[in-house]
Amino acid sequence: MSSEERKVQEVLARYVRATDRRDGKAQGALFTDDAVVRIHARTGPGTYEPVGEPLIGGAAVEYAVEHYMAPHPEGATGHHTTSDHLIEVDGDRARMNAQFIVFRTQAATLPAGTPGAQGTVEPIESGYYDTELRRVDGEWRIVRHDVLMDMPIALPGA
76 lies in a domain? Answer: no
Which CATH number characterizes residue 31's domain? 3.10.450.50
How many residues in total does the chain contain?
158
Strand-strand pairing, 139-149 and 31-44 = parallel
63 lies in a domain? Answer: yes
DSSP type of residue 69: S
CB of 150 within 8 A of CB of 127? yes
Number of independent structural domains in the chain: 1
92 lies in a domain? Answer: yes
DSSP type of residue 137: T
pLDDT in tens, 55-68: 999 999 999 999 98
What is the C-alpha to C-alpha distance for residues 2 and 24, in angstroms, rounded to an integer?
A: 29
117 lies in a domain? Answer: no
107 lies in a domain? Answer: no
49 lies in a domain? Answer: yes
Question: What average pLDDT does this structure show over 45-49?
Answer: 90
pLDDT number for residue 80 = 95
Compute how many other C-beta atoms are within 10 angstroms of the C-beta atom of residue 15.
22
DSSP type of residue 1: -
154 lies in a domain? Answer: no
Residue 98 to residues 25, 80, 139, Cα–Cα distance (Å)? 23, 12, 20
pLDDT in tens, 79-121: 999 999 999 999 999 999 999 999 999 988 776 777 777 888 9
28 lies in a domain? Answer: yes
Q: Identify the domain containing residue 90 by its residue range.
A: 3-71+84-98+126-149
